[in-house]
Chains A and B, each alone.
Chain A
Amino acid sequence: MSIKIIVKRLLFLVLVIWAASTIVFFVPRLSSRNAIRERFGELARTGGFSPGDLEKLIASMQQQFGLDKPLLEQYLQYLNNVIHLDFGYSLYKYPSTVTELISQALPWTIGLLLVTTIIAFVMGTLLGAVAAWPRAPGWLRAFATPFILLTGVPPVIMAILLVFFIGFRLKWLPLGSAYSVGVVPNWSWTFFFDLMAHQILPAFSLILGSVGAWVLSMRGMGITIQGEDYVNFAEHKGLTGGRIFRDYYLRNALLPQVTGLALALGTVVTSAVIVEGLFGLPGIGSLLNLAIRSNDFPTIYGIVLFITIAVATLMTVLEFVYPLLDPRIRNT
């Protein structure tokens, strides 16, 4: 791969991030809501400010957040902040900065979503590959079937069913939240096991819900590849079944799956909103949900941009990795 292509790809990455940040900047401004006013209105109802003081307070906060300046100036200031990865203070959780909020939430999302996505990918890909391989034993091929059936169940329903039966009825596992009430997070085995017990149900609902899709796409690809001339010729060459499976069948059937994995990693946060909400986990999904509801746009910017940068970077990395997997797209 030439330097020119690498530079081109990196420039494209910057372009994507710029476009995304611009869209993200303007969309919340289309709303007539004012997050500061709403927040103080809330406080006023409970605290008892005098209306005059309240207006002054709001005006001073507007000024502090730069919301009184012309839109263009705000936009340029915002772009400057984006470059420095500084999204300022959260409007809703005021003294905290957006960066702080994201870095607190991120480990939860990565720990659960990233790990389950990769587990589901590996499981689904292998099961799908075996299901489409005519020489695999029947009982092994049948393993894929229940997962294919489960693709019809929406992950939310799956999560609710799991919580109801295993958490509520059988009481084997906790119903939700990140760890037990009263437990202080620390580096001990007790805390670790408590943490893991709380992650099992969300992890299972995510894995059970998504393995089937990987099985289906891999099986579809596998059926095409197993009939390819080069797989037949490999058998004519007298290669062992294992080698044909690995080098001739799996290597080729895997290519679209890798693209699928990159796309799936990009949508990880989308499923996080639902699953984290359902299980009460303090991850990026919950944070985004809260930010949208309170029109806390610095936090929305921060999260959406963070996701955009993550996905775009992932895609760029994939573009550099893909030619290693498929020689046909080198030098293009």
Chain B
Amino acid sequence: MSSTIASAQAGSRNATQAFDASGEPPVLRVKNLEVTYYTDSGRAKALDDVSFSLSAGEKMGMVGESGSGKSTMALAMMRMIKPPGRVEGGSVFIDDVDLMALDPKAMRQARLNKIAYIPQGAMNSLNPVMRIGSQMVDAIKSHAPSESRTAIQDRCMHALKSVDLDSSVFGMYAHELSGGMKQRVCIAIGVLLEPKVIIADEPTSALDVVTQRQVMETIDRVQDEINAAVILIGHDMGLMAQFVDKVGVMYAGRLVEVSTVRDMFTDPKHPYSQALISSLPNLDNKGVFQGIPGLAPSLLRLPSGCAFHPRCTKVMDTCPKVRPEVEYLPDGRMVICHLYDEETEH
């Protein structure tokens, strides 16, 4: 236990300086998080030195191609990376507790209670042979075994109500619900214990656009209610633009840019972010899509220096040689790109 406190203090001393508009200390601080997968064909660094922080009530979108490390990041924060993967280092502070330093039992208690995960495949995330209610009750009971039956019941009903579901869902089975309803049940389970941090991993994939919007609004509303920090993982930049406060862009396991949503859409800094933004359909020049040339690199054989350099339109001499480091621009935005070396040198 003493080591937890010691590392917690160490963590708070060098808290990330990343911007928090509110000025209050961030509720979530991820520092230098690293995950490696040990495969037969070599080591794959799926998450490379990822750091960011979030304040209570803030929403952050994480975008990037498939395999860029978004879901790995979410799993690493939950400490649910399975072999052959391993968290190699870093810390995940929620308030002053480093999740990475907790023993397995304390970590189990922290899940859902402090940090909740809303799964990617909500279609299959509910046990088909248990009633929805039992799946909510067992979640509460495993964290608050002494809570009375009526208190647990109230909690469940409240959570269902907050995601716009009828209380009759409590006694139903997963196969009796629609896709959108199942996703909402997952959200309801996620907020049961009012966690500080909620990670929603592509919560709207496999849903139609109307339902996508409803689900996003539901997340928005429950977040306001419990004032949690939310990380939203997804591909859909359009949906992100409407719901998040800031956007993180991931590429080949690195978080290459973090900007407010306005900055990201009007003035993206990293060339990869620029390419992502310009690949979005746009009413002004209909029909002309800008793709990003090339493919995402294999994590087993990353290009030298900056992993994006083979696909980058602004590649310079240093890019293939020197690995770019985290840079904070004068306006507080974070970017990992040699283009901004000079701006931050002084």
Contact = CB atoms under 8 A, between A and B. Distances in A.
Partners in one complex: yes
Interface of A: 134, 228-230, 232-240, 243, 247-248, 251-252, 255, 325-328
Given A236-B78, A239-B138, A230 B128 contact: yes
Contacts of A230: 124-128
30 contacts: A134-B82, A229-B119, A229-B123, A230-B124, A230-B125, A232-B125, A233-B117, A233-B125, A233-B186, A234-B127, A235-B111, A236-B111, A236-B112, A236-B119, A237-B189, A238-B108, A238-B109, A238-B111, A238-B113, A239-B139, A243-B138, A243-B142, A248-B130, A251-B129, A251-B130, A252-B127, A252-B129, A255-B129, A326-B128, A327-B129
B110 interface: yes
A236 B120 CA distance: 12
Contact of B112 (A237, A251, A255): A237
Q: Which applies to chain A's interface (DSSP): helix, strand, loop or mixed?
A: helix
A252 B128 contact: yes
8 A-B pairs closest in CB distance:
A238-B111, A229-B124, A233-B125, A236-B117, A237-B139, A229-B125, A229-B121, A327-B173
Contact of B175 (A228, A239, A327): A327
Contacts of B111: 235-238
B124 A327 contact: no
A243 B145 CA distance: 14
Contacts of A247: 127, 130, 138
Contacts of A236: 78, 80, 111-112, 116-117, 119
Contacts of A233: 117, 119, 125-126, 186
A248 B127 contact: yes
Given A236-B78, A239-B142, A243-B142, A326 B127 contact: no
B311 interface: no
A172 B110 CA distance: 57
B99 to A, nearest CB: 12
A285 B298 CA distance: 63
A233 B116 CA distance: 10
A228 B126 CA distance: 10
Contacts of B129: 251-252, 255, 325-328
B127 A238 contact: no
A233 B120 CA distance: 10
Interface in B79-98: 80, 82
Interface in B116-160: 116-117, 119-131, 138-139, 142-143
B204 to A, nearest CB: 16
A238 B82 contact: no
A238 B139 contact: yes
Contacts of A325: 129
Contact of A328 (B108, B109, B128, B143): B128
Interface in B245-273: none
